[in-house]
Amino acid sequence: MIVFLILWCDFDVSGKRTKISDIEMQASDPSFWDDSKLAQSIMMELSELKQVIQVWTGLADRSNNLRELAQLALDEEDDSLIDSLTSDISDIDQELSDREFDLLLSGPNDDRNAILAVHAGAGGTESQDWAQMLLRMYLRWAERARYTASIIDTSPGDEAGIKSAYISVEGKYAYGYLRADRGVHRLVRISPFDSDHARHTSFALIEVLPEADDKIDIVINPDDIRIDVFKASGHGGQSVQKNSTAVRITHNPTGIVVSCQNERSQFQNKEYAMKVLRARLMELESKKRDDEQAKLKGEHVAAGWGNQIRSYVLHPYKMIKDHRSGYETSDTSGVLDGELTPLLRAYLKSSISD
């Protein structure tokens, strides 16, 4: 009960109720919908606040009911009733643990959608195959976590795998979770492409960006971009589309170039490419602020190419180890099939104490 009250205060449930009342009063003003975009944003905030309140009031009701039943069981010395309450108590304890973990996802962008990029490292086909394995892992993780994942763009490998890929992951806290995985990922295995069955080490780089709010965060001057359209192509350069549906956008002031060719519509490809461009520009602005803070705090060594954050060893033994949190698991098949949440959570918890 003490843990429940602490978390109730940490999540400021009372403050959220006050905020709901303020928004509902604001929405009752006849002029509220004059700015439809702003109104929709405010109503979305209202919906999220109500969901939080619903979770906590539900937990409070369940806890009170269980406390009354537990007292009744003790008074009547009913061991069978006490046993039957154990499962319900465990469920509430797990949900409280999940809500406590939500406190770790309180960064300024943690609740946003995410754009994740996979880039094959040096090593040709080996690393390109590893990049495709990682792409599949994140798509399977998103499916398990009930997020919506869409492939924005892929650059196929020379013989197998991919050189790079961008995916959009939509859902609350998508960025908060996935930011734990940005950095270099190292694979050690017996190569399926080596006739001598030699052991190979491959690298791939993961980038994770918070999706920018195109109405608030980043304003792009149409005069600052160049949009080129071309025919999409697949492995070996064969034509996938007869029409020019692929889109490449160049942001002239920064030199940032993004492209998208996975959708069959030129309009959809342009929308996805603009989404990536906004995210990259927001990251650039964030990096400028971080650099200014770093000058005050001293030198900061960031994870870079060659400084792996995680190793996936498939031979001579099976082990996945996160080098930052120290988390290890021998379930390599499970992780590569999307069972990634324990690794993400372990890093996020360890980062609090760093």
pLDDT interval class at 293 (50, 70, 90)? low
This prediction's pTM = 0.69
More confident residue, 331 or 237: 331
More confident residue, 223 or 6: 223
Is there a single domain that holds both residue 309 and residue 292? Answer: no
Is there a single domain that holds both residue 188 and residue 152? Answer: yes
More confident residue, 232 or 133: 133
193 belongs to a structural domain: yes
Is there a single domain that holds both residue 137 and residue 183? Answer: yes
Is there a single domain that holds both residue 265 and residue 284? Answer: yes
Strands 183-190, 308-313: pairing kind:
parallel
Is there a single domain that holds both residue 269 and residue 308? Answer: no
194 belongs to a structural domain: yes
Is there a single domain that holds both residue 269 and residue 349? Answer: no
The CATH code of the domain that includes 309 is 3.30.70.1660
Mean pLDDT confidence for 212-225: 78
- Tell me, what's the pLDDT at 321? 97
109 belongs to a structural domain: no
Mean pLDDT confidence for 211-240: 73
- Tell me, what's the pLDDT at 296? 45
Mapping DSSP onto H, E and C, the string for the chain reads: CHHHHHHHHHCCHHHHHHHHHHHHHHHCCCCHHHCHHHHHHHHHHHHHHHHHHHHHHHHHHHHHHHHHHHHHHHHCCCHHHHHHHHHHHHHHHHHHHHHHHHCCCCCCCCCCCEEEEEEECCCCHHHHHHHHHHHHHHHHHHHHCCCEEEEEEEEECCCCCEEEEEEEEECCCHHHHHHHHCEEEEEEEECCCCCCCCEEEEEEEEEEEECCCCCCCCCCCHHHEEEEEECCECHHHCECCCCCCEEEEEECCCCEEEEECCCCCHHHHHHHHHHHHHHHHHHHHHHHHHHHHHHHHCCCCCCCCCCEEEEEECCCCCEEEECCCCCEECCHHHHHCCCCHHHHHHHHHHHHHC
Which one of 43, 68, 102 terminates a domain?
102
**Choice among 17-21, 49-53, 184-188, 281-285 with the minimum mean pLDDT:** 49-53
Is there a single domain that holds both residue 226 and residue 318? Answer: no
Is there a single domain that holds both residue 196 and residue 308? Answer: yes
pLDDT exceeds cutoff 50 at 297: no
Is there a single domain that holds both residue 343 and residue 292? Answer: no
The CATH code of the domain that includes 77 is 1.20.58.410
107 belongs to a structural domain: no
pLDDT tens by residue, 256-278: 999 898 777 888 899 889 989 99
pLDDT interval class at 10 (50, 70, 90)? very low
What percentage of the chain has pLDDT greater than the value 70?
83
More confident residue, 64 or 296: 64
pLDDT interval class at 249 (50, 70, 90)? very high
pLDDT interval class at 217 (50, 70, 90)? low
pLDDT exceeds cutoff 80 at 214: no
Is there a single domain that holds both residue 59 and residue 123? Answer: no
Mean pLDDT confidence for 163-183: 94
pLDDT tens by residue, 150-169: 999 999 998 899 999 999 99
201 belongs to a structural domain: yes
- Tell me, what's the pLDDT at 237? 44
pLDDT interval class at 2 (50, 70, 90)? very low
- Tell me, what's the pLDDT at 335? 98
Which one of 277, 296, 315 terminates a domain?
296
- Identify the domain containing residue 177 by its residue range: 114-213+304-353
- Tell me, what's the pLDDT at 354? 52
Which one of 53, 73, 102 terminates a domain?
102
pLDDT tens by residue, 37-82: 788 878 877 887 787 788 777 777 877 787 777 777 777 776 666 6
Is there a single domain that holds both residue 207 and residue 94? Answer: no
- Mean pLDDT over the full length of the chain: 82
138 belongs to a structural domain: yes
The CA distance from 249 to 252, in Å, is 9
262 belongs to a structural domain: yes
Mean pLDDT confidence for 281-288: 85
108 belongs to a structural domain: no
Is there a single domain that holds both residue 311 and residue 203? Answer: yes
pLDDT interval class at 333 (50, 70, 90)? very high
pLDDT tens by residue, 227-244: 999 887 654 444 445 567
More confident residue, 108 or 315: 315
Half-sphere exposure of 117 (CA within 13 A, CB side): 21
Structural domains in the chain (count): 3
pLDDT tens by residue, 72-123: 777 777 666 666 677 777 777 777 766 667 777 878 889 899 999 999 998 7
